[in-house]
Amino acid sequence: MSLRALVVCLGNICRSPIGEELLRQHAHRAGLSLYVDSAGTSGWHQGEPPDSRSVQIMSLHGFDISKQKSRALNREDLQLFDFILVMDRQNLKDVKSLGVGRAKVSLFIENSDVPDPYYGGNNGFQLVYEMLDQAAAEWINSWSNLHD
C-alpha cells in the first residue's frame, strides 16, 4: 500500500514544489511507496510552473521540478491524502478551515515556519531547500518505520 502526502504553501510556486520533490526523492532512496503532490492555499498561480528561483535551486542539487504545475488546495484533498504537510502556521489555519478529513495535517517542520522566499533574495531559496531536505528525510524515516 502506498502512502499519500500533499505539501502545501500559499501559492504552490516556491516552497511546496521543493518539498514535493524532496519527499519524492527521499522516498525513492528509502524504497518507500509514496504518492506525493503539492498545492497552494490560494489559487493565484493555478496552472503555472514553479518560481524560476525554485527551479534553479533544485537544478543546482540535481532535481528537475520545471514540469510541476501549481494547483489550489481543495476540500477533497483532506480525504485523498494520508498526510498534508504545510509550510507555516497560516497555511495550517487555512487548511484546517476547510474542515476535517482523514488526512493528518502538520507543519512540514515541527514547531517551525518555513519562510516564504518569494520576496527575499536567492539565499532564501537555498535556506528553504536545506530546511526542507532535512525535514523530508525525517518524514520518510518516520513513515518507513510505520511499515516495519
Question: In this structure, what CATH number is given to the domain that contains residue 106?
Answer: 3.40.50.2300
> Quick one: average pLDDT of 90-98?
96
What does pLDDT average to over the chain?
95
pLDDT, tens digit (0-9, with 9 covering 90-100), for 31-67: 999 999 999 999 889 999 999 999 999 999 999 999 9
User: Where in the sequence is the domain holding 129, given as residue range(s)?
Assistant: 3-146
Query: Does the structure show a pLDDT above 70 at 147?
Result: no
Work out how many domains the chain is built from and give that number.
1
**Among candidates 36, 14, 16, which has minimal Cα distance to 24?**
36
- Residues carrying an active site annotation: 9, 15, 116
